[in-house]
Structure 1
């Protein structure tokens, strides 16, 4: 009996540790992108291309090691387009928005899109929670001395909507790693087209390339691989709730590493937004045992 309990405790500790590592990886995407534009000469197009290509190669290796096959699907190109839109808008937005603010807008946009989709499909959750989340994000973006640029926030919202759509398309996948790897690979031609269009504005340096590779290979590909391992070992409610930590972690990392500042108004608005999203997410999943809400579990990546 003691041996079984000890084994269970060790397994639980491993899940907690790997979950924490996955959340740090997702938060690191925001930190690495923001750091690249704040401290290096790399441009958003080059960062996007390097992140997608390095992520594609890393996921391809992981899929091969797992013996998974990259099979084309009916939604494959749509997934690639949404993935490309997410990564590109994410990069361009982080030129003018802080680490924590960007993560909050991304998270809220992705979750609210998937919640809206579920509502249209007959799911029911707390409308008051939706209103609280929307009110919090409106207060967060209201014009003040510390408010993020509206253009950058709009771009990050586009990134969030694109990621939400990508998650909805892939939620029924029985092989998430191989499908994500395929989407990254099919997004490569799109980033090459973007580089051609922006060829006169490209700029790279060693540290900028390093940040982009780390974002693509470790924070994205590595983070996804860890999260997919964790996801099958926890409940739907836990999976949705634990991702609330990502904007908070991103903000903390931004303050500690990049010396960014958080105003009292911004902090309170962020807490209200996350509280509203948590209320909606937990209510929806508790009410339906969530096949139709499964996509909301993978909103932050």
Structure 2
């Protein structure tokens, strides 16, 4: 991956790094806006999905591919559930904890579906899978530093929905066109989330709206476009493995940007979850392609 370039001549390592930062930025922007009560989660979700749809469509139009709009209603439903649960979860979760729960749920969902469909693990893969699940269980176990139960369950739902979204889109001819189509299909449901704000039940300050727009337009829209460009120069296993960096980037950035604390529990469970998934990815074959889809 060191000197490989895409068809457009961009270094794969630069594109990959930019995509991972974009994925981490989604958690940071959402947590920043909701922790400071700058916007309500419903409004954040709506603005994120709508701005993402606009930017993705603009990218397709600029590439003269707008006529190839794809996607499905099932994918759009999974996308909406992911985005909504993601926002409501970050009302009470730190950026690092949320990213780890999201990542763990995405990967375990996709690996679990593979097992359900008949894939067989080696002993070392089974061990890695068990370690990852135990890591999540320890993170969620009661204790002083345990995350909010409601927030954790919502983020696990978000991760499961994104795992389903990735599986539904596996093998599509044009991932970017499919993602754009799903964002556009999710737009009507996103618009409904504005109703509480119009009724005065929810609120949104200018800085909160800006955060949601950045999350949708840059971290999601541009971030996904950059990721698909990077995938052209990555193997499936590399695409899956590099995503292990997202929860780490998010947790470290959360300490610097948001002033969050890295707890011993989060550090240890991160090692277990990310290490366990890494063991599975490193020695697997058939499911690795599915894991190369974006997780944020």
TM-score by length of 1: 0.91
Q: 2:32 aligned with 1:35, yes or no?
A: yes
The match for 1:49 is 46
Aligned match of 2:223:
223
Cα pair 2:128 2:279 within 8 Å, conserved:
yes
Shift of 1:14: 1.4
- Establish whether residue 115 from structure 1 lines up as the match of residue 101 from structure 2: no
After superposing the two structures, state which structure 1 stretch, 250-259 or 115-124, moved more: 115-124
What corresponds to 1:4 in structure 2?
none
Corresponding position: 1:21 with 2:18: yes
Give me the TM-score of the superposition, normalised by structure 2.
Answer: 0.92
Equivalent position of 1:203 in the other structure:
203
Corresponding residue for 1:233?
233
How far off its partner does 1:192 sit?
Answer: 1.7
**Superposed CA RMSD:** 1.8
**Over residues 65-122 of structure 1, what are the superposed CA-to-partner deviations in whole Å (9 max), with x where a residue is unaligned?**
122245576x711111100000000000000000000000000001011101111222
**Which segment drifts farther, 251-260 or 185-194?**
185-194
Q: Distance in 2 between matches of 1:129 and 1:88?
A: 30
Contact 2:46 2:190 in 1 (8 A): yes
Structure with the larger helix share: 1
Whole-angstrom CA distance in 2 between matches of 1:70 and 1:115: 34
| Aligned residue-pair number | 288
SS in 2 for 1:300: coil
Check conservation: 1:118, 1:293, Cα contact below 8 A.
no
- Aligned pairs for 1:154-173 (under 5 A) are 154-173=153-172
8 Å Cα contact 2:57-2:66 kept in structure 1: no
Q: Which residue of 2 aligns with 1:276?
A: 276
**Which of 65, 73, 77 is 1:77 aligned to?**
73
| 1:163 CA drift (Å) | 0.4
CA distance in 2, matches of 1:69, 1:299: 21
Q: Distance in 2 between matches of 1:155 and 1:11?
A: 38
